[in-house]
Structure formats: structure tokens, C-alpha cells
Amino acid sequence: MWEVLETAKNVAKKSRQVQINKQALIRFSRKVLADGIEVPRWNSHYHFCGSGEATVSYLLVLDSLNFCFWPARGRVKWEIEYESRKLSGYYALAASLKHAVESGIPITKAEYLADVTLSKLKQILGGQGELQLLEYRVQSLNELGQVLLKEYEGQAFKMVGAAGKSAVKLALLLAEKLASFRDVAKYQGHKVFFYKRAQIFAADLYGAFDGKDRANFTDIDKLTAFADYKLPQVLRHLGIFDYAQALAQKVDQEIYLEPGCPEEVEIRANTIWAVELIRRELERMEKGLRAFEIDWILWNLGQHGEFKVRPYHRTLTIFY
């Protein structure tokens, strides 16, 4: 994903509101090595794992909806009860969709997705509290179903197959065919490519299939980090991110950052570039981790309470 990496690097060089602290980055890289921090294994408990074709379809639906899990100010966050445990955020989405598949709701069928309604999606997700941008989630599913029917005989695995064994081609194909995956911004008049959910679908396939079968990608190492709102929160906690005072106040006071505004683009671009620098530092120390694996490590750290002391930035968007 050279477009993503190069445009992220260019933004990082020009950033005014976000700076990468190289010494903190080196300290974290050394800690990964010293503590023997491992890449998290794929969570098969909350994800559906069935036949190859059904799993591919499930993951594509999952990543079509994989964005914006935080509630509006003053609202209660969305959460579900799953096996006597309360879940929120991404894992709640994964478990809800898994339950739907296992209950016989045909969410892996393109015909169903093309016509799914808001009321049906609400029933599928269930739970309590507010999940924002539901109308856009319905649009994403409708678009997905229609494109699969029109171009891939209704089969998600055929869309994956069209990319050959290339994770990069798969991400670019999703961004080309589906507007909801076309994650591109502008900074100082130049395009900046992120393709967060498009890349994460390729990585999720890799995780679910353990890099085999339908996820036997030859270029999985070319994926970048997936620029969202959790990783910057973790990088800031680690001291790797330094925010200018004005931006720090906005983030800490949970003031919305408009999608595509300079501050938001700087946060996301520096996230990608910081992970790339961590990857290079670990490589220098003879620890070979790929960017998406470092992303998984950071995201999992972000689920611990100590990393949530300061809030993440708020941007209302379908892209992450």
C-alpha cells in the first residue's frame, strides 16, 4: 500500500498539531522486545467460523459495518449481552453478526444484503444504547449486496478471488467498487489515502484463515496500520504522540473533529507512519513484525483501562 504509506509520511513531515516522539517510540519498541509481547491470536470466540465461503461473507459484512462505536455526548453506548457477558464496540458487532448467522438470518447472502432495511438491521444488532450512523450502515450493506450481485454472482469469495493472492489488490478493489470503503482525504491540497476498513478486511481474512486457503496472500506485509481512533489514543498514552495544546484540549474535551479537517488527517496519517517507524525499529533489533501485527498489538493494549485515561478523538465518520 505504497499510496497509503507515502501520503502518510508526507503528512507526518508537515504536521503542525501532531508530532511523533522518536525516543518514546524507541522505548516502546524495546519494551515489545524485552517483554516478549506477542501478536494477538485471532479471536474465534466472538467471530463466526464456518465454511470457507460463509466465513469470507461474514467478514466482509462485519468490516462493512466496522466503524464508529462511541455514543453521542450524553447518550449511552451500545452494548449487547452475549453468553452472560456484556460486550460493546467491535466485539459486540462481531458477536451480534455471528449470532445472526447461527440463527439462520441470511446476512451472508447478497440478495438479503441488497434489500436489508433499518428495522431489520436493528433487530440483528439488538442490544441497548445507541450505535450511531445506522442509516449509513444500512446503505453500506445495500451497496455491498448490489455490487456482489452485479459483478460477482452474489459471492463474496469471488470478489476476494478477483484479487488473486494479493492483499493490496483486494483492499484497492474494495475501495474501487464500494464507496463505503473509499477512505481518502485531502491535506494541503493533496490526496491522502487511508483505506482503513479495506485493509482490515484483508487482515481479518488472514487472521481467520491463519494465512492459508483463501487468505494465502503473497503481500500481506505490504498492509499498513489501520488508522482509527483507538490507536492514536494508545500512542498518545505511550508518549509516542505529542499533541499541540489546541488539539489536546479538543480531544480531552471530546470536541468533534470534522472528517477531513487538518487535525483529523494529521492524527490518522501520523498513526500509520508511527507504526511504520516502530516496524523499522523492531526490524533493526531483529524482531520481524508486520505493520498490521503491530496494529493488533496496539489495539489490544487499548482495551485495557490504563490506556483509556484520556479520551480518543471524536470524528463522526463511516471510515473508522
What confidence tens digit (pLDDT) does each residue in 270-312 have? 999 999 999 999 999 999 999 999 999 999 999 999 999 999 9
Is 124 among the domain residues?
yes
Query: Pairing mode, if any, of strands 190-193 and 184-187?
Result: antiparallel
User: Among 204, 241, 272, 170, which residue's Cα sits nearest to residue 28?
Assistant: 241
pLDDT single digits (tens) 186-200: 999 999 999 999 999
pLDDT single digits (tens) 24-69: 999 999 999 999 999 999 999 999 999 899 999 999 999 999 999 9
- Is 228 a catalytic site residue? yes
Catalytically annotated residue among 228, 242, 252, 295: 228
At 77 the pLDDT is 96
Is 318 among the domain residues?
no
Show the CA angle centred on residue 76, arms to residues 239 and 199, nearest 5°: 50
Is 34 among the domain residues?
yes
Is 317 among the domain residues?
no
At 59 the pLDDT is 98
Q: How many domains does the chain have?
A: 1
pLDDT single digits (tens) 211-229: 999 899 999 999 999 999 9
Give the gyration radius of the chain's Cα atoms.
19
pLDDT band for position 134 (cuts 50, 70, 90): very high
DSSP per-residue letters across 195-262:
-HHHHHHHHHHHHHTTT-GGG--S-GGG------SHHHHHHHHTTSEEE-HHHHHHHHTTPPPPTT-H
pLDDT band for position 80 (cuts 50, 70, 90): very high
Is 133 among the domain residues?
yes
pLDDT band for position 109 (cuts 50, 70, 90): very high
Is 315 among the domain residues?
no
Q: Contact 71/129 with Cβ under 8 angstroms?
A: yes
pLDDT band for position 89 (cuts 50, 70, 90): very high
Distance of CA 210 to the CA centre of its chain: 18
Residue-range definition of the domain harbouring residue 106: 2-308
Is 32 among the domain residues?
yes
Is 319 among the domain residues?
no
